[in-house]
């Protein structure tokens, strides 16, 4: 920042020259004295003061425009995330979809109808995600954390959610046929209307699940389920589920 107070007028050259202790110092003293006059002249130049104020004002304008354009940058970021997801649709591997999905969900963007079928999404974290009518068919989500996600009417057929955290998750009317939920945590999950035919529920934690309105469970393996609600196991077997431990490969 430029100092705004005017400088004092430099002493005359005769006085400065007389103060020299040696003749060889005169060139240096003369140079310094010349600079003092330049500084004195500039300190009284109003244009520099105006330029100083304009410089500060430009910073303020830049800050205002930065925040004013933040909404556009967020939209651009969301567009790029969706582009990553849609471009990789139907393909295996991750293709950057884990980061894209997590970024959108962190910004509270609904993931309704998202198609990540056959994707490799191990360790995905989508807490409280809106995944209504999403397609996770044959996707690999082992060790994922989807606490409170809404999979209403979603297709999770033949997907792998082994050891995933699915507490308080909604599976209302979802297609879970052939899903692998071995050792998954499903505390307080809502399975009303869900199709669980041929699902692997071995060692899954079923603490306080809503199971009374499960649509079908034929062929599902419930061996070793943990904290199953009273009556669930007997009802499941009665409706075609099996209770046969399968050796790990």
Per-residue pLDDT of 34-75, as tens digits, reads 777 677 666 666 655 666 666 676 776 666 655 655 556 788
CA dist 94 → 79, 132, 143, 164, 192 (Å): 18, 21, 15, 17, 31
Q: Is the pLDDT of residue 140 over 80?
A: yes
Tell me the pLDDT of the chain averaged across its residues. Answer: 87
Weakest mean pLDDT among 21-25, 155-159, 160-164: 21-25
The domain spanning residue 105 has which CATH number? 2.160.20
Q: What is the pLDDT of residue 166?
A: 98
Which of 234, 242, 231 is closest to 196 using CA atoms? 242
The Cα–Cα gap between 70 and 100 comes to 19
Same domain for 118 and 43? no
- On whether residue 81 sits in a domain, the answer given is no
Determine, yes or no, domain membership for 80. Answer: no
pLDDT surpassing 60 at residue 203:
yes
CA distances from 221 to 23, 40, 171, 200, 230 (A): 104, 91, 18, 5, 17
Q: Residues 125, 142: contact at Cβ < 8 Å? A: no
pLDDT in tens, 207-247: 999 999 999 999 999 999 999 999 999 999 999 999 998 86
228, 201 in Cβ contact below 8 A?
A: no
Residues 207 and 97 in one domain: yes
Range of the domain at 36: 13-68
Measured in degrees and rounded to the nearest 5, phi and psi for residue 77 equal -65, -40
Residue 190 included in any domain? yes
Read off the pLDDT band of 173 (50, 70, 90).
Answer: very high
pLDDT at 162 over 80: yes
Same domain? For 172 and 54 the reply is no
pLDDT at 236: 98
pLDDT the model gives residue 67:
60
Residues 142, 200, single domain; the answer is yes
Q: How far apart, in whole angstroms, are the C-alpha atoms of residue 161 and residue 202?
A: 12
Binned at pLDDT 50, 70 and 90, residue 199 comes out as: very high
**Number of compact structural domains in the chain:** 2
CA distance 230 to 206: 11
């Amino acid at each position: 920042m430029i100092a705004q107070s005017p400088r004092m007028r430099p002493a005359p050259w005769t006085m400065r020259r007389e103060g020299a202790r040696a003749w060889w110092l005169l060139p240096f003293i003369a140079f310094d004295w010349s600079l003092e006059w330049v500084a004195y002249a500039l300190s009284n130049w109003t244009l520099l003061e105006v330029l100083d104020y304009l410089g500060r004002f430009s910073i303020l304008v830049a800050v205002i425009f930065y925040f004013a354009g933040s909404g556009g940058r967020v939209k651009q970021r969301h567009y790029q995330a969706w582009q990553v997801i849609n471009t990789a649709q139907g393909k295996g591997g991750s293709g950057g979809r884990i980061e894209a999905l997590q970024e959108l969900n962190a910004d509270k963007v609904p993931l309704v109808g998202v198609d990540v079928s056959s994707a490799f999404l191990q360790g995905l974290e989508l807490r409280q995600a809106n995944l209504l009518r999403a397609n996770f068919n044959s996707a690999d989500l082992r060790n994922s954390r989807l606490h409170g996600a809404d999979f209403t009417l979603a297709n999770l057929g033949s997907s792998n959610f082994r050891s995933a955290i699915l507490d308080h998750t909604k599976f209302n009317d979802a297609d879970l046929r052939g899903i692998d939920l071995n050792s998954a945590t499903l505390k307080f999950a809502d399975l009303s209307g869900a199709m669980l035919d041929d699902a692997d529920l071995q060692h899954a934690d079923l603490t306080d699940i809503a199971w009374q309105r499960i649509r079908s469970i034929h062929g599902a393996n419930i061996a070793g389920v943990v904290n199953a609600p009273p009556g669930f196991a007997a009802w499941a077997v009665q409706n075609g589920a099996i209770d046969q431990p399968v050796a790990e490969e």
